[in-house]
Structure 1
Amino acid sequence: MRRRRELRGVRYFHVRTGSNDLRLVARDGESGYDLTAARPAVSSFRDLAMVASATNRGVDDVAEGIVSDAPVVGTESVETATARPLVPDEVWAAGVTYEASDDARQTESDRPDLYQDVFENERPELFFKATPSRTVGPDDRVGIRADSDWDVPEPELGVVLYEGDIVGYTVGNDMSSRDIEGQNPLYLPQAKVYDRCCAVGPCVASPETVGDPHELDVRMTIRRDGETAFEGETNTSLMARTCEELVSSLTRHDAVPELAVLLTGTSIVPPTEFTLREDDHVEIDIESIGTLANAVTVV
């Protein structure tokens, strides 16, 4: 009988093989394990979360029952062949959860009191962000609208939900057309929802791996022509609302789909004179999860 492997600090990647098949790989430090090779029915994070939900266990506990039979995957394969780690049925987002975001959206709008009211109100701002077809993964291109002149990425902690329960965390990029929203708050859907408007990845980190989601360093770097055009950092401890509060507000009166991601807001805001351009490169790093990297294209 094989000895059960204990996993510590687990992150789940979707990795392409040489035949372009997608495999779910559990990475524990520098070691990676091909869970799909051991259990073909577990080919995605959705499958893993479904088994965990059906058996009333955590995703790491389910993975631990598989890794003893799973072949080891090299670090290079995980890092160079990573695809979108999950395909959420819906992506939702929260706005004005940091004071810096509140300040930035007041600056861009002719109605700044609207955003101050949200920041101070018990009810958070929650809005629909993306469908699967509008969401991209690591090393894919995120989009900026051709009819917008002021576009920025928004680095955010993403809460992964399965049937409304928190099963992991990922890195999210909530692409935004600031001038469109600034013209009128009613234009928010057009500023937020469009082709390639959202990126998630590079993995899903389990709740045990992340620990306290409100004590994570977040960094963003934007490079243009090989030079750093912008960089900033923050910590999720500055959030005015907790992940649990935001999830509760989202699920309390709405039937969320089986697999969803809730982005929790940003406080890294480029200066007003900055806007993204074609071929800019955005890197977002969140402690305990990883780095999401995307180039930019006009859509």
Structure 2
Amino acid sequence: MRYFRVTRGDDERLVVSDGDDSYDLTSAPDGPSTVVELLAADETRQGLDEAAEAYLDDAEEIEFDDDDLVLPVEPPEVWASGVTYQISEEARQEESDKPDVYIDVYESERPEVFFKATPSRTVGPNESVGIRGDSDWDTPEPELAIVLYQGEIVGFTIGNDMSSRSIEGENPLYLPQAKVYDRCAALGPSVTSAGEVDDPHDLEMTMQIHRDGEVVYEGQTNTGEMVRTCEELSSYLTRHNVVPDLTVLMTGTALVPEGDFTLHEDDLVEIEIEDIGTLTNPVTTV
């Protein structure tokens, strides 16, 4: 099943959808209003869908549209992985004056895992993602994102790892400045439970970038192109590192606009991943 957070007046509701009908879990007696509340109430720790079953009989049906959506989870931390697809390795070699470091990561046992965002830097569906005012080469990075609870994978969402390629290209040590800034991460539109995804390494992913009503970039890939597994990436994140519940880990990108393409103010980025939905965000300068 898929889990959304939607607005109703001043309230935010946790909604579950089975594809045909949607139910407001918050409307049930003692119903949860967030994913972490839902999981915390499940003493069996069997997963999102099993936890939701306890509220479904008393939950009201609800209708909503894209304008009602907010962040499906509010992660205390967002982390990201790099160089997990061949095209990502090639793109980062292209932008860098020191390309060998990316070859080493792509072929090494240890993956690249880095801190990406705090809650204040993370936006949801239809909110603006940021490009830095001191950067002249900026791209979105569409990624399958893992949702972790007590160190285990409980669901998947879509992540947009906004990046300054010009800053990172100057020196790999500038990576935090290229990756971590206002509105640098977007998540949504839903969290699909881990049990609902047959194989996270076989999901179709597309991205379109719109400018002035025209599509200026369009690409498609499959998560099967990843050289790392979701379990491998999450195991390295949590190795000697206890992460808070509902931490999100992005798994790397395979859709990189060619050449010197850069985002502009007021562009619109649409990322779609099979079984999860479409994450849409306009672009602003920060």
TM-score, scaled relative to structure 1: 0.94
Question: Contact 1:49/1:167 (CA < 8 Å) preserved in 2?
Answer: no
Question: Contact 1:220/1:285 (CA < 8 Å) preserved in 2?
Answer: yes
Structure 2 partner of 1:28 = 18
Structure 1: give runs of 5+ residues left out of the alignment: 1-9
Post-superposition Cα deviations, 1:119-175, rounded to whole Å, max 9, x if no partner, equal 000000000000000000000000000000000000000000012111100000000
Structure 1 partner of 2:47 = 58
Q: Which amino acid aligns with 1:73?
A: I
Question: Aligned-pair distance for 1:79?
Answer: 3.0
Q: CA RMSD in A?
A: 0.9
Structure 1 partner of 2:110 = 123
Please give the alpha-carbon distance, in whole angstroms, between the structure 1 residues aligned to 2:236 and 2:29: 36
Structure 2 partner of 1:11 = 2
Question: Aligned-pair distance for 1:109?
Answer: 0.3
Distance 1:39 1:122, change over 3 A: farther
Please give the alpha-carbon distance, in whole angstroms, between the structure 2 residues aligned to 1:235 and 1:65: 35
Question: Aligned-pair distance for 1:78?
Answer: 4.1
Please give the alpha-carbon distance, in whole angstroms, between the structure 2 residues aligned to 1:79 and 1:40: 26
Please give the alpha-carbon distance, in whole angstroms, between the structure 1 residues aligned to 2:198 and 2:131: 34
Structure 1 residue 46 and structure 2 residue 33: aligned? no
Residue 91 of structure 2, aligned match among 95, 100, 104: 104
Question: Aligned-pair distance for 1:40?
Answer: 3.8
Q: Which amino acid aligns with 1:58?
A: G
Q: Which amino acid aligns with 2:36?
A: R
Structure 2 partner of 1:73 = 62
Question: Contact 2:25/2:31 (CA < 8 Å) preserved in 1?
Answer: no
Structure 1 partner of 2:220 = 233
Please give the alpha-carbon distance, in whole angstroms, between the structure 1 residues aligned to 2:29 and 2:191: 19
Structure 2: give runs of 5+ residues left out of the alignment: none
Please give the alpha-carbon distance, in whole angstroms, between the structure 1 residues aligned to 2:91 and 2:101: 13
Aligned pairs for 1:81-92 (under 5 A) are 81-92=68-79
Q: Which amino acid aligns with 2:129?
A: V
Number of residues paired by the alignment? 286
Question: Contact 1:89/1:132 (CA < 8 Å) preserved in 2?
Answer: yes
Percentage identity across paired residues of the two chains: 60
Q: Which amino acid aligns with 1:46?
A: V
Structure 2 partner of 1:276 = 263
Q: What SS is found at the alignment partner of 2:266? A: coil
Question: Contact 1:13/1:78 (CA < 8 Å) preserved in 2?
Answer: no
Structure 2 partner of 1:178 = 165
Structure 1 residue 248 and structure 2 residue 235: aligned? yes
Question: Contact 1:210/1:289 (CA < 8 Å) preserved in 2?
Answer: no
Runs of 4+ in structure 1 over 4 Å off: none
Q: What SS is found at the alignment partner of 1:36? A: helix
Structure 1 residue 298 and structure 2 residue 285: aligned? yes
Q: Which amino acid aligns with 1:87?
A: E
Aligned pairs for 1:76-225 (under 5 A) are 77-225=64-212
Q: What SS is found at the alignment partner of 2:66? A: helix
Q: What SS is found at the alignment partner of 1:22? A: strand
Q: What SS is found at the alignment partner of 2:57? A: helix
Please give the alpha-carbon distance, in whole angstroms, between the structure 1 residues aligned to 2:138 and 2:230: 26
Q: What SS is found at the alignment partner of 1:232? A: strand
Please give the alpha-carbon distance, in whole angstroms, between the structure 2 residues aligned to 1:283 and 1:86: 19
Q: What SS is found at the alignment partner of 1:92? A: strand
Q: Which amino acid aligns with 1:263?
A: M
Q: What SS is found at the alignment partner of 1:69? A: coil
Q: Which amino acid aligns with 2:5?
A: H
Question: Contact 1:161/1:167 (CA < 8 Å) preserved in 2?
Answer: yes
